[in-house]
Amino acid sequence: MGVIRLPDDVREEALAHVYAEFDRLKWEQVPPGERGAVYVELIADESFSRLLAPYFDTAQMRVWLKDSAAKEYPRALEGIGPAASHTKRGYPGPSVIVSATLGLDWSVVTDSIEQKPMRCQVMSAAGEAAVLIWGPQRMLSNLHWAASVARVAGEQRVVVAVTRHTMAKPAASEWVRVQALCDLIGVEAHSVMYMPRTIDAVGN
C-alpha cells in the first residue's frame, strides 16, 4: 500500500492547527519523551482529527504528526519552507549566531543558507571566509557530519554552533566531549543561545 498524500487544503489546515499547539507549548523545548503525549492529545481533539479522519486511521495520524508536522516545525521556525507560514514564532536568524561566534564584522553570504542541517557561508569585512553550521546538541551527529563534509570539500574554516534555548551553558563534561569531537576534524565549536520569539518580536 502506497503512502497516502493529504490534499493540499487539508494539509494546510492540519498544519495550522498543529503548529498553533506547538507554538503554545514551545515545542523545541518539549523533551522527546513527552512528545508522544502531545500527539495523543491532538488526535483526541476532534477539531484536528476530523480533518485527517477521511484519509488516516489513528495510527497513521500519529505517524503524520511525528514524521511530517513535527519534523518540518524546526525548519518552519527558521522561516524555511511553505509550513513556515503556519507558525507565529521564529528564530532571529543566522546573523545572531554569526555575531556570537565570529564577531560583529562577519555576515552571512547572500543566498548561501542551506538546511538539514542548517548552514551557510559567512564572510568577514576583511574578506575572510568560513562555513557556519548550527543546530541543537541532540543533532550533534548531523552537525559533525556536515562539518566533516565541508572539511573534505576543502573549506579551511568551519564553525559548529551548538544552539541552546536557555542562558544556562551546557554541562562541562558534555561540552568537553563536543569540543573533542570537533577537534578531531579541525573545526571550531561554540555554544550559542538561540531561541524562537513571536514573529512580532523577531528583529526587534
Residue 131: pLDDT over 70: yes
CATH 3.40.1560 holds for 94-201:
yes
Q: What is the Cα 160 distance to its own chain's centre?
A: 14
Query: What would the grid cell of residue 152 be?
Result: 573534505
Average predicted confidence (pLDDT) for the chain: 93
Confidence label for 200 from pLDDT (cuts 50, 70 and 90): low
DSSP assigned state of 144: H
Query: What is the per-residue pLDDT across 49-99, written as a single tens digit (0 to 9) for each?
Result: 999 999 999 999 999 999 999 999 999 999 999 999 999 999 999 999 999
Position 104 pLDDT exceeds 50: yes
Phi, psi of 109 (to 5 degrees): -75, 130
pLDDT attached to residue 87:
96
Q: What's the predicted TM-score (pTM) here? A: 0.87
Residue owning grid cell 559548529: 160
Average pLDDT on 139-153 reads 97
Q: Which helix (H) or strand (E) holds 134?
A: strand 129-136
The domain ranges of the chain are 8-89, 94-201
pLDDT number for residue 5: 84
